[in-house]
Amino acid sequence: MNYRVWWGLGLCLSGAAQAASCSLLIVGDSLSSGYGLEKGAGWVDQLNARLKKSAPAWQAVNASISGDTTQNGVQRLSAALLRQRPHGVVIELGGNDALRGTPPGLMRDNLRSMIRSAKQSGAWVVLLDAPVLPNYGKAYGDAVARLYVDLAREEKVSRVPCFICGVAANASLMQADGIHPNARAQPAMLDAVWPTLKPKLRCPGS
């Protein structure tokens, strides 16, 4: 590669850095990783498209992995924080814990650990409620729902109530497994999260 190409590449990288100087780390499971969807169709991809128009200094980095639990989140968050150095962190975990009947107390401890790690790194946090199927009864479901409310209050972080509940009741917005929203549901999922995210998109130095 000759000098002019290197120089041009440097300008492109510089421009990209200026265009997106603040990062938003999304740590979630299949609901955020785009499970069963074509590439670029997930709500996080649509979030990035909206950020380009509404908050161009920001870029969402999707660190979501299908099947992850809150324990998986604890295990990999520290490395992600060091690698990405995000200004904001969205935690969307707990659905797989609930499918397995994980004790709510353990879920709470794991989520609290993640919230505190993110805050200690200097990032603000948004916590997304996990959807809970009725497999383990109403008492279990109520306990899981309550832990998100309690954690958000205790840790003083923003919380988004079940962001797929608005689409989960509509079979036409769900994939064949009845668990994962389809491509048509993704805009509604983003719209459920956006009002909480938008006021936080103040990028230092931009």
> Which sequence positions are flagged as catalytic?
30, 177, 180
50 touches 194 (CB < 8 A): yes
Identity at 57, one-letter amino acid code: A
Task: Write out the DSSP string of 37-89.
Answer: S-TT-SHHHHHHHHHHHH-TTEEEEE---TT--HHHHHHHHHHHHHHH--SEE
Side by side, the strands of the sheet bearing 58-62 are: 58-62, 22-28, 88-92, 124-128, 158-160
Backbone angles phi, psi at 19, to 5 degrees: -70, -30
Q: What is the DSSP string of 152-189?
A: HHHHT-EEE--TTHHHHT-GGGB-TTSSSB-GGGHHHH
Which residue type occupies 146? R
Distance, in Å, from the CA atom of 112 to the CA atom of 127, rounded to the nearest integer, reads 10
